[in-house]
Amino acid sequence: MEISDYLRVFMDECQEHLQSLNSALLELESHPGNAEILNSIFRSAHTVKGASATMGFNKMASVTHAMEDILGLLRRGDLEVTPEIINLLFDAVDVLEVLARGIPEGREADIEITGILQRLKEYSSSEQKTPTAKDRRRKLDLRYTKEEKEQIKERLTETKKLYHIHVFLKEDCLLKGARAFMILREVENMGEIAKTIPSAKELEDEQFRFDFIIGLLSEEPVEKVVAAIEKVLDVEKVEGTAVSIDEIPDERRGYGDFVLQEKKEADEPAQSRLGTTSLTVRVDIRKLDELMNLVAELVINRGRLEQISSELQNRELEESVETLNRLLLRLQDDVLQTRMVAVEHVFSRFPRLVRDLTRRAGKQVDLVITGADTELDRTVIDEIGDPLIHIIRNALDHGIEAPEERRAVGKPETGRLEVNAYQAGNQVIITVSDDGKGIDREKVARVALNKGYITEEKLAEMSEEEIINLLFLPGFSTSEKVTDVSGRGVGMDVVRERITALGGTVRVTSQRGEGTTVTIQLPLTLAIIQTLMIEVGSEIYAIPTTLVEQTISVNRNEIHRLHQQEVTTWRGEVLPLVRLQDVLEVEDAKNLEYDELDVVIVRNGERRLGCVVDTLLRPQDVVIKSLGDYLGSIPGIAGATILGDGRVALILDLRNVA
Amino acid sequence: MEENIREKGKEREEVRDEELLQLVLFRLGDEEFGVNILQAREIEKLDQGLTRVPKAPPFVEGVINLRGEIIPIVDLRKRFGLTLPPLGYDSRVIIVEVRGAPVGMLVDAVVEVIRIPVSAVEPPPPITKGVDAQYLAGVAKVGDRLIVLLNLDKALSPEESQELAEAELGDA
């Protein structure tokens, strides 16, 4: 691996650890006494410290080191888990995120961290100010929680006993950690280690003074164990006694390393809420893209093969091609699946976001996320995060009211924000609902009128939902003041743009006083779409069927001119017509001479447009390819595809025509 | 042609201490131009149909399918306002990379690959062979030939064409 590969791996893992730190801190906030969570946080911070130090990112290493110090104190019970400390740790994680973002740009070393380090050190060094208290705590005492005791009892037999071995190393011992490790190894030959204090990790990191206690289950006489340890270099003295498990006081908070538990559960996969080890492989996204391209080419070539096979009329060949077809469809599916990522990836940011926003605004909100395992294409996942965050910000800033307001109208003080994702047919639906005060229709209408987007008459004709969806017009921000939380009216128009660019739709429904729901529909995969192939002149184009309402045949007598525009009637309404050769600048179109015209009715929201073509060809699934960076985006062209004969056909975007 | 190149190569090799530039020479109309071989990805024949792209800049002829990749094809002769003999048997497309994106340049013929010392390259005069200096990276005299080096970024960048088009309208 080159350095850059290491960096990529580091960045990926770093992101994961930071994410799990955020989740774990959130859990710790609700369950401050949970030692397992503390340990998990400690481990994550420790891993990030090691990795960043190895990569030379010293600022990250310093911050995580300082975090570790505090976490160590929390684990040992020398420090209580308080809201201030949790906020401090959150802030530290934020700093780590800033540092991580600075790494690709080479800025990590320039980022100022003295502030956070000072705050972190305040806590970890406050303990050092009371040495006597610390000394008292430092007197080692090996205890067990009730659960741990049960597990030990199960193992005790006539011959197997529990010993507490207190080992003292010489004060001038240089490699304490290594020594302790050696001793533990020696001891393991003679029995099962139940627990050590400090924990094995702390011993390895030399986070102890000079002594430690081993709780050992062994059938050997205790003297033998003591003698074996005394033989190790740098050991000052060893005290070993058999203990009766029932006489040991209970430990309410389990800390230290209960090794036995891990061994017992070795057969079952370790279930941890805070971090699952699933069978996954990291794959460079570009390799997946290449795989997709290859599959797409196979799909195209398959078409050609089918053509040839039908021409040759050879049965064996046909059967072979059919099998190839089936396999190819499965391959296509599987490869597309590899690009699918669970929305959890995006949703995991929300709890932290909601927490921060509600704290600053003084509101109380329950965030409920469902369907996080719903999957979307990777490129969609990358793009959908920001729009969703904006929608959530709106819900929290404008939707959900402050606790007093809610009480006044008889709602529970804690508001509810639901984010849901599910698959429906060929689409994925994501909804964000709040039980806040809903959207003020009159206000929206007023702003739209003032900005000249609609007239009074039009307004009178609009349905409630249509009025609310006026929100998506540009320049719309119904908040009078610019709040820090919601930012400058970035606006739902940008949200709609982003979602439309992904091939999706978004709409809002709302009930005054009850709440608002934003519904986003996204296509399941980007890469392959259904289209209708048409011909104009000698050129072939593809129209995505999501845009097509219907295809009709119109006689030239049914075409009239209205204000210079060709129109016809359809379903009792006036349908504007456009000859595609005019839009596409095609020179050899023939439809002007035809009596019966093929018209593709295209819809864009509420509007319909009839596109006149020369010939309707066939419906076809095509693989969308980009026109490339050199051309960039050309108005009216959504992309290109490669036909069965290897030619390129352009995919049309007819939404803004006419 | 190979012997020619090797011989020429040997001549050049004698100037051993100088840094050498390797160029692909091609013909546009009646004139020879060159690009740095490091910028050229490959050379293809245009034996498949070109798909026209409506509303693309005028010198963009269309796009082709190259092993599954969509490559835009640019006619430099149109770009530079040179005479346009019809594309013949020797016509080729030289695929180059402009700011990371692949583009195919339509040329009348690919002549040869030569090596010249970097020191032989001089800044271009305002107009050379009918082409404005802004599109050129330099000129080099090789024997009795005048080789014109293209500045690909400028020659192929679409934004410039807008200004060019407007300038032309202004002059007319």
Please spell the DSSP secondary structure of A394-446, one letter per residue: HIIIIISPPHHHHHHTT--SSEEEEEEEEEETTEEEEEEEE-S----HHHHHH
d(CA B124, CA A53) in angstroms, rounded, equals 52
Q: B44, B70, B74, B153: which to substitute to probe chain A, counting the most A Cβ within 10 Å?
A: B70
| Domain membership flag for residue A277 | no
Contact flag B72-A627 (C-beta cutoff 8 Å):
yes
Percentages helix, strand, coil for chain B (3-state, rounded to 5) are 25, 45, 30
- Unique residue bearing structure tokens 């009930």: A511
Residues A194 and A213 in one domain: yes
In 3D space, the residue among A403, A398, A402 whose CA is nearest the CA of residue A440 turns out to be: A398
Structural domain ending residue among the three candidates A87, A120, A136: A136
Q: Are B17 and B74 in contact (CB under 8 A)?
A: no
By the 8 A CB rule, do A328 and A335 touch?
no
In a domain, A427, yes or no: yes
d(CA A648, CA A522): 27
Say if residue A94 is in the same domain as residue A175: no
Residue A271 lies in a domain: no
Whether residues A351 and A367 share a domain: the answer is yes
Asked if A627 lies within 8 A of B158 by C-beta distance, the reply is no
Residue A657 forms contact with B (CB below 8 Å) = no
Given CB atoms, is A539 within the 8 Å cutoff of chain B?
Answer: yes
Answer whether B51 sits within 8 Å of A647, measured CB to CB.
Answer: yes
Q: Which of A87, A91, A89, A76 is nearest to A35 (CA)?
A: A76
Contact status, residue A518 vs residue A439, Cβ threshold 8 Å: no
Measure in Å the smallest separation between the Cα of B159 and chain A Cα atoms. 11
Residue A471 half-sphere exposure, CB side, CA atoms within 13 Å? 28
* C-alpha to C-alpha distances, B53 to A540, A600, B72, nearest whole angstrom: 11, 21, 9
Mean pLDDT by 10 residues, chain A (658 residues): 70 88 89 83 88 86 89 82 88 90 80 83 62 48 80 83 89 81 87 85 79 88 89 86 79 49 36 46 76 73 72 85 81 78 88 88 90 82 86 88 90 92 81 91 84 81 82 66 45 78 81 92 70 92 87 92 90 92 92 93 84 90 75 80 81 74
A94, A22 Cβ separation under 8 angstroms: no
Q: Directed axis angle between helix A58-76 and helix A114-126, to 10°?
A: 20
Specify the amino acid at residue B131.
V
How close is the nearest chain A Cα to the Cα of B157, in Å? 8
Q: Which residues make beta-bridge pairs with B83? A: none
| Together in a domain, A15 and A147 | no
Question: In chain B, what is the greatest distance between 2 CA atoms, to the nearest angstrom?
Answer: 51
A166 and A21 belong to one structural domain: no
| CATH number of the domain to which B129 belongs | 2.40.50.180
Using DSSP's 3-state secondary structure scheme, residue A370 falls into strand
Name the residue with higher pLDDT: A316 or B6.
A316
Minimal Cα–Cα distance from B31 to chain A, Å?
26
Q: What is the DSSP code string of A599-637?
A: EEEEEETTEEEEEEESEEEEEEEEE-B---TTT---TTE
Neighbour count for residue B150 (Cβ, 10 Å): 25
* CB-side neighbour CA atoms (13 Å) of A21: 30
Report the alpha-carbon distance of residue A262 to residue A195 in Å, rounded. Answer: 11
Residue A298 at interface with chain B, using a CB cutoff of 8 Å: no
- Flag whether A10 is in a domain: yes
* CB distance B92 to B24 below 8 Å: no
How far lies B38's CA from each of A281, B103, B152, in Å?
A: 36, 14, 12
The Cβ-side half-sphere exposure at A285, using a 13 Å CA radius, reads: 9
* Residue B112 and residue B131 in contact, taking contact as beta carbons nearer than 8 Å: no
Which domain covers residue A534, as residue numbers? 528-652
Structure tokens at A482: 């610019």
In a shared domain, residues A431 and A575: no
Q: Are A648 and B103 inside 8 Å of each other by CB?
A: no
Which of B56, B65, B100 lies closest to A629 in CB terms? B100
CA distance A62 to A285: 32
Note the pLDDT of residue B11: 53
By CA distance, what is B54's nearest residue in A? A584
The minimal CB distance from A630 to the residues B49, B68, B72 is found for: B72
Which amino acid is it at A308? Answer: I
Q: In A, which residues are within 8 Å of B100 by CB distance?
A: 629
Number of domains within chain B: 1
Edge to edge, the sheet with strand B92-98 lists B40-44, B92-98, B101-107, B69-75, B60-66
Residue ranges of B 67-126 with Cβ closer than 8 A to chain A: 67-72, 98-103
- Which of A296, A584, A626 lies closest to B68 in CB terms? A296
State the complex-level ipTM.
Answer: 0.78
> Which position has the higher pLDDT, B81 or A555?
A555
Residues A150-161 as b/e (b if ≥16 CB within 10 A, e otherwise) read ebbeeeeeeeeb
Same domain? For A382 and A485 the reply is yes
Same domain, A439 and A325: no
CB contact under 8 A, A650 and B71: no
pLDDT tens digits for range B21-42:
889 999 887 778 899 888 888 8
Q: For tokens 């050992």, what's the residue?
A: A216
- Phi, psi values for residue B157, rounded to 5°: -80, 125
| Of the candidate ranges A63-67, A549-553, B2-6, B155-159, the one whose mean pLDDT is the lowest | B2-6
Would you say residue A269 lies in a domain? Answer: no
A583 close contact with B: CB closer than 8 A? yes
Question: Per the structure, how many domains does chain A have?
Answer: 5
Residues A388 and A485 in one domain: yes
Contacts of B62 in chain A (CB under 8 A): 648
Cα torsion A91, A94, A99, A102 to 10°: value is: -140
H/E stretch holding A415 reads strand A415-424
Put simply, the answer to whether B65 touches A635 (Cβ < 8 Å) is no
**Radius of gyration of chain A, Cα coordinates, nearest whole angstrom:** 34
Please state the φ and ψ torsions of residue B46, each to the nearest 5 degrees.
-95, 75
Hey, is B84 helix, strand or coil? coil
Interface touch B103/A630, C-beta < 8 Å: yes
The two tokens of residue A538 are: 């000698």
Tell whether A658 is covered by a domain: no
Rounded to a whole number of angstroms, the distance from the CA of A584 to the nearest CA of chain B is 5
Tell me whether the omega of the peptide bond preceding residue B124 falls within 30 degrees of 0, making it cis: no
Instruction: Give the residue from A631, A331, A586 showing the smallest Cα distance to B69.
Output: A631
Active site residues of A: 46, 68, 394
- Mark which of A490, A507, A523 sits at the end of a domain: A523
| Helix H or strand E encompassing A642 | strand A637-642
- Residue A569, domain member (yes or no): yes
- Across the interface, whether the CB atoms of B63 and A625 are under 8 A apart is answered no
**What SS3 class is residue A343?**
coil
Residues of A in contact with B54 (CB under 8 A): 583-586, 634, 636-637, 650
Asked if pLDDT for residue B165 goes beyond 50, the answer is no
CATH of the domain at A543: 2.40.50.180
Whether the CB-CB separation of B22 and B128 falls below 8 Å is answered with no
Residues paired with B107 in a beta bridge:
B92
- HEC-encoded secondary structure of A155-189: HCCCCCEEEEEEEEECCCCCCHHHHHHHHHHHHHC
Instruction: Give the other-Cβ count within 10 Å of A205's Cβ.
Output: 15
Instruction: Assess contact for A440 and A512: CB atoms under 8 A.
Output: yes
Contact state of B68 with A627 under an 8 Å Cβ cutoff:
no
Residue B133 domain boundaries = 2-171
Contact assessment for residue A196 and residue A203, using Cβ atoms and an 8 Å cutoff? yes
Residue A147 shares a structural domain with residue A204: yes
Question: Does one domain contain both A347 and A450?
Answer: yes
Q: What are the backbone angles phi and psi of residue A537, rounded to the nearest 5°?
A: 65, -130
Quick one: A562 and A634 in the same domain? yes
Which is nearest to B131 in space by CA: B144, B156, B150, B104? B150
